[in-house]
Chain A
């Protein structure tokens, strides 16, 4: 079974600073995908970035980048030049290649509540 651990329940960051949100994962499958989602107070889950386990390069999407360290089983999200609108819950999630037994769905961590201060 797969597991996602997010060790930072909450973070306060000054506007315009970079922020790193930690995520470690555990799986026995060699092929998997890692995702980050943002959930503002409105409740909707917004997809941010994806990293495949065999991808050679770290994924980037605008101000978001994923620091993927496969040997350490970590997939930290880096937000550059944080903005007030970045304040939200952030969830790390993964999905294995093999189907069945719940593997078809995403396994989520408990999330990190990020607050950007002016």
Chain B
């Protein structure tokens, strides 16, 4: 079946602009995660959705970052007033039920470049 998909694959924007990154999880997966991966680092957790609700948003760096999952499937990560330090690859993952041992399957990522 289809894996996790993310759009766009690349996004170039100017400092101060607003961007939206989309994630389409594996069908039937109730849990969805966003991570950010900077160059030469492992991914860092941003936010976790269980169904439509954000169960854990403690990884969001500040209030410029916001994510939604209104119907419990597709999720959008929104970044306001982008800064050059936001440049990174944003990864989305989904898992079947969100438990500790539940495997998270990752999408190909969106590479965000803020000029």
Task: State the A residues within 8 Å of B (CB).
Answer: 4, 31-33, 35, 37, 42-47, 50, 52, 91, 93, 95-97, 99-111
Q: Is the CB of A105 within 8 A of B103?
A: no
Task: State the B residues within 8 Å of A (CB).
Answer: 33, 35, 40-46, 48, 55-56, 58-59, 89, 91, 93, 98, 100-101, 103-109, 111
With A43-B109, A50-B101, A52-B101 in contact, do A110 and B41 touch (Cβ < 8 Å)?
A: yes
Q: Is the CB of A103 within 8 A of B42?
A: no
With A35-B103, A50-B101 in contact, do A100 and B56 touch (Cβ < 8 Å)?
A: yes
- Which 10 pairs of residues, A with B, have the shortest CB-CB distance? A105-B45, A108-B42, A45-B106, A104-B48, A104-B56, A33-B101, A102-B58, A97-B100, A44-B108, A33-B100
Q: Is the CB of A101 within 8 A of B55?
A: no
Write out the residue numbers on chain A whose beta carbons fall within 8 Å of the beta carbon of B106: 37, 44-47
Write out the residue numbers on chain A whose beta carbons fall within 8 Å of the beta carbon of B101: 33, 50, 52
With A33-B101, A109-B42 in contact, do A99 and B56 touch (Cβ < 8 Å)?
A: yes
Write out the residue numbers on chain B whose beta carbons fall within 8 Å of the beta carbon of A110: 40-42
Write out the residue numbers on chain B whose beta carbons fall within 8 Å of the beta carbon of A32: 100
What distance in Å separates the Cβ of B44 from its nearest Cβ neighbour in chain A? 7
Write out the residue numbers on chain A whose beta carbons fall within 8 Å of the beta carbon of B55: 99-100, 104
Most buried by A among B55, B98, B106, B108: B106
Write out the residue numbers on chain B whose beta carbons fall within 8 Å of the beta carbon of A103: 56
Docked complex Cα distance between A109 and B43 (Å): 8
With A32-B100, A33-B101, A50-B101 in contact, do A102 and B108 touch (Cβ < 8 Å)?
A: no
Question: Which of the residues A46, A52, A102, A108 comes within 8 Å of B43, measured between beta carbons?
Answer: A108
Q: Is the CB of A47 within 8 A of B105?
A: yes
What distance in Å separates the Cβ of B110 from its nearest Cβ neighbour in chain A? 10
With A44-B109, A107-B45 in contact, do A102 and B104 touch (Cβ < 8 Å)?
A: no
Write out the residue numbers on chain A whose beta carbons fall within 8 Å of the beta carbon of B111: 43
Write out the residue numbers on chain A whose beta carbons fall within 8 Å of the beta carbon of B100: 31-33, 52, 95-97
